[in-house]
Amino acid sequence: MGGYNHIEGEIPYIDLPKELLESKQWSSTTEEWKELCGKVREACEDYGCFTVGYDEIFPAEQREEFFMCMKDLFDLPYETKQKNSSDLHPANRGYIATSVVVPLYESLGVQNPIYLGQAQAFTDLMWPDGNPAFCRSMNSLSRNMRRLELLSMRMVLESYGIPTYYEAVAENSVASFRMMKYRPPPATDEVALGLIEHTDKSFLTILCKEQVKGFELLTKQGHWLQFSPLQKGNFLVIVGEIFEAWSNRKVRALEHRVVMRGDKARYSCALFMVPKDEEMIEVAKEFVDDDHPLLFRPFNFAAFVKYYNSNATSKNALQVYAGV
């Protein structure tokens, strides 16, 4: 397996040039562009994830500022956080409080904070007296993550020779932003599950991490690998189940979990590229032939989420729900 800039702890690191991230024109015929698209695709197929650096465009200070804001958010009273609610999408658009099921985990989801109005509405809900720093910071971080998400998607499609799907995928998806806090285990020498192993219900997920360990991923060889804070790249691009289905399993959804050790709380945030509720997910015809029979029947995204939410303990929910 070749071609990655760097593999540390078995996760590929891909150096996406600053110009590419800044540019609005993501199409090119140069060899360099093609080669880079190939690397992104290979990472999605072989690993289900890759890391990228992003410091020039989104400096560490700005990320740190947002993580400070997030601490204030989770310090708000339960009653306030609970105002952010959603029946169909508790994880993507609502508040998940710590409970017996997830004793260390707490999260708040916001739909499309890449738009200032949406970021403002959430901020007003949490801080009726205002919190402009939070609003600005969430809006700017999520916009940068969305840019990275769209670019990654574009590059994979380009590498498969089907860039024309890009517009539809981008337009028919929403940017679901989720902020998470994990409490440390009750005793410092204890190791405790922060978030159970799962694959994301997204096309792609961009994860931004603070310097507290805990993210673990299942390698193709079947062992759990800790994502080291020293690993190059501050953003992790993760393949989700929807992309796996749409590509007829050409790309692989990454199984991951969070394991808490030590005495520090952990904060993280992620942007999920999820289909709009009404969207039908249908395997792209280019991925089906005599050697690659159709693996998933067309399914509606919201109906699948509803099924998953009521059968959350079932593994391989998508396979059970939409597998041929």
Ligand X SMILES: O=C(O)CCC(=O)C(=O)O
Residues that bind ligand X (CB under 6 A): 178, 180, 195, 200, 207, 215, 256, 258, 268, 270
| Alpha helices (runs of H) in the chain, residue ranges in sequence order | 18-22, 31-46, 60-74, 78-81, 90-93, 116-126, 132-159, 165-171, 241-246, 301-310, 317-322
Cβ of residue 270: shortest distance to ligand X, in angstroms? 5
Structure tokens at 212: 């507290």
Closer to ligand X by Cβ: residue 245 or 270: 270
Q: Which helix (H) or strand (E) holds 108?
A: strand 105-111
Closer to ligand X by Cβ: residue 166 or 267: 267
SS3 119: helix
CA 51 vs. chain centroid, Å, equals 12
Q: Contact 242/274 with Cβ under 8 angstroms?
A: yes
Cβ of residue 106: shortest distance to Fe ion, in angstroms? 15
Closer to ligand X by Cβ: residue 195 or 253: 195
The yes or no reply on residue 241 touching Fe ion (CB under 5 A) is: no
Name the residue type at position 132. P
Contacting Fe ion within 155-214 (CB under 5 A)? 200
318: nearest Cα among 220, 252, 231, 222: 252
Select the binding partner of residue 268 from ligand X, Fe ion, none (C-beta < 5 to 8 A, by kind): ligand X
Closer to ligand X by Cβ: residue 170 or 265: 265
Closer to ligand X by Cβ: residue 28 or 309: 309
Cβ of residue 165: shortest distance to Fe ion, in angstroms? 24
SS3 209: strand
Distance CA(74)–CA(65), nearest Å, equals 15
Cβ of residue 256: shortest distance to Fe ion, in angstroms? 6
DSSP string, 140-179: HHHHHHHHHHHHHHHHHHHHTT-TTHHHHHHHTEEEEEEE
Cβ of residue 309: shortest distance to ligand X, in angstroms? 14
Closer to ligand X by Cβ: residue 258 or 318: 258
The yes or no reply on residue 216 touching Fe ion (CB under 5 A) is: no
Select the binding partner of residue 248 from Fe ion, ligand X, none (C-beta < 5 to 8 A, by kind): none
Cβ of residue 255: shortest distance to ligand X, in angstroms? 10
- The site for Fe ion (CB under 5 A) is made up of 200
